[in-house]
Structure 1
């Protein structure tokens, strides 16, 4: 499993240095390491927030991180289904599409 810091740097590398530093040091270096929530719980909250707010650009990174942090495909699918009633059907459907894309990218190659 990659460290959050390495993943954060890679994910925001195209942004200005200060933004990348804040991402590494404050977001992934502080918030994600606080002990009040486990990384698994933080992933659940983050995915739900991104879907509910329709922030799809960040979603694949966090869906993959959620799977790495121990959330199952079934749990993530249930999050999307639950959110359909709170954030709207199209929002949840878009989240499910992103989840399917992440699942496909993580599947072992058939070759």
Structure 2
């Protein structure tokens, strides 16, 4: 469950209604709605902010939140590359700079382990797909 107090902490004395909408409605109700996963919400939020050209501290916050919500460095790189074609190259370039700081690289041993696992999975998928879709195998044997 996400609990946010930034609105009340920073603006509560100036604009209690805005603080309420930020902390209680946006982060209290919307972010905690179980219809979408926190990871999906993070991806949507980052995409929207970059699409609007918002590359300030709010994007940094949401990049850090995305990491906490399970978005990996590789996924973020793919997300930002995809966004670049729709939201503009300069927006994505600015976001890459921020994401690199929020998502440091994995230790070398972990990267190698992931690479080996990915290679094994890819090989297994290719050989299974080839074996199961061979045209000379009768349908009853598949």
Structure 2 counterparts to residues 1-111 of structure 1, below 5 A = 4-5=2-3, 8-10=4-6, 13-15=9-11, 16-57=15-56, 58-103=58-103
RCO higher in 1 or 2 (8 Å CA, sep ≥ 6)?
A: 1
How many angstroms does 1:4 deviate by? 2.5
Taking only aligned residues, the RMSD between alpha carbons, in angstroms, comes to 1.9
- The structure 1 segments of at least 4 consecutive aligned residues displaced by more than 6 Å after TM superposition are none
Per-residue CA deviation, residues 49-91 of structure 1 (Å, 9 max, x unaligned), is 1111111121000000000011101111111100111111111
Q: Which is greater in Rg?
A: 2
For 1:101 and 1:30, locate their aligned partners in 2 and report how far apart those are by CA, in whole Å: 29
Count of aligned positions = 101
**Equivalent residue of 2:34, what SS?**
coil
Q: What is the TM-score with the length of structure 2 in the denominator?
A: 0.64
Per-residue CA deviation, residues 2-42 of structure 1 (Å, 9 max, x unaligned), is x622xx32377322333222211100111011121111110
5+ unaligned residues in a row in structure 1: which ranges?
A: none
Q: What is the TM-score with the length of structure 1 in the denominator?
A: 0.81
5+ unaligned residues in a row in structure 2: which ranges?
A: 107-142
For 1:17 and 1:102, locate their aligned partners in 2 and report how far apart those are by CA, in whole Å: 31
